[in-house]
Structure 1
């Protein structure tokens, strides 16, 4: 865990800095890396030498994790992999988690072991409010027991609130980019699918809607992607025994 010096900051600057992070690094991974480094620096004013990690839970894919240093990234990844830990609990329960001394803690055995390996002795985790079903937790780690007093808790709560503003925006940008990628992929796949539908119409003398329905059903029953199945149909169209799609599939 890298040493951090306490530094004074005006509260009004936090929101502005988070906005700058969004503008300078709108992709999710880069934003989370910069955000954790920034929050660790800010929290150092109240807690001394601390590090910061964050875990973001979305409906699609594995959780997104980041840390202000490599050791903290390991702790966040451990929580994500083993589905237990204070940051994950804060995110899922949407409530603060304070562990004054990890040596006396019995919850989250895998996390406790990883934290001991990084010499972390106390943790403060706060939920980060997000839109929809997405959830996130931001955690601060100290190398000393009882590393987070009342002022540190207030500061962490404020940082989580300000982080949520930027994170919500970055998540929306990420969702738009993912939607654009999916649309481009679908458009790229459309030609072979359209040709395959035409082949089915010619084979079965059915309507386009029925042909498309058969194609979807067959892809599910054969556990194949629609594109792969369409390519197989198109490739075999001129063969002696072409691939045929039947309503019963």
Structure 2
């Protein structure tokens, strides 16, 4: 019997949109599957799983958030390879994995937000410096200086921060 690479048969169900993995992810329920009896339900998946030498399948939904869902899957070489107890253990494991993934997602989001806030603080500082330079050079108000800086940024089609950095850098170079 020709055997598919172990992971290739699992991909078939995503390509055709039918199999225990997509169904577990969609329904939120653990699926225990005897592959020999799943042919009517998922013919493409069943053919590829049997060709890969698989006889049983256990799939648990894995939900991090609304945008990140999937399933965690176990494959067995024996018919009836998974009992209720393995389903319960997999559910406990998936709960821990989901918690870890959510924590990681929250950490990465917080880290990204902190980086954005830091960039905003740095940008604000250089923009305020550029405004001060314009105010001193032109004898105008802070609002007028800011409007001139915005206009220059738009004329050059560059970010306001970049425009401010260039002005501050030019003044520093002219007056070391």
TM-score, scaled relative to structure 1: 0.41
What residue number does 2:60 align with?
A: 126
- How much does 1:234 deviate? 2.8
Whole-Å Cα distance in 1 between the matches of residues 69 and 91 of structure 2? 13
Q: CA RMSD in A?
A: 4.6
Whole-Å Cα distance in 2 between the matches of residues 200 and 102 of structure 1? 74
What residue number does 1:173 align with?
A: 103
**Residues 192 and 230, structure 1, Cα contact 8 Å, conserved in 2:** no
SS at match of 1:95: coil
Whole-Å Cα distance in 1 between the matches of residues 96 and 85 of structure 2? 17
By percentage of residues, which structure has more helix?
A: 2
**Residues 25 and 70, structure 2, Cα contact 8 Å, conserved in 1:** yes
The gaps in structure 2 that reach 5 residues or longer are: 136-140, 170-176
Whole-Å Cα distance in 1 between the matches of residues 80 and 91 of structure 2? 18
| Equivalent of residue 193 in structure 1, options 104, 109, 123 | 123
CA offset digits 1:146-190 (Å, max 9, x no partner)? x226xx341232123311332233124313421342134224423
- How much does 1:131 deviate? 6.8
The gaps in structure 1 that reach 5 residues or longer are: 1-69, 223-227, 240-249
Change (3 A) 1:159 1:177: same
Please tell me whether residue 183 in structure 1 is matched to residue 110 in structure 2. no
SS at match of 1:234: helix
Instruction: State the aligned residue count.
Output: 148
| Equivalent of residue 39 in structure 2, options 104, 118, 125 | 104
CA offset digits 1:49-91 (Å, max 9, x no partner)? xxxxxxxxxxxxxxxxxxxxx934x556x37974834213202
What residue number does 1:38 align with?
A: none
CA offset digits 1:177-230 (Å, max 9, x no partner)? 2134213422442344214643579699549xx98xx8xxx8xxx8xxxxx834
| Structure index of larger Rg | 2
What residue number does 1:137 align with?
A: 71
CA offset digits 1:100-132 (Å, max 9, x no partner)? 3288357484x567646633344232335x575
TM-score, scaled relative to structure 2: 0.54
SS at match of 1:120: coil
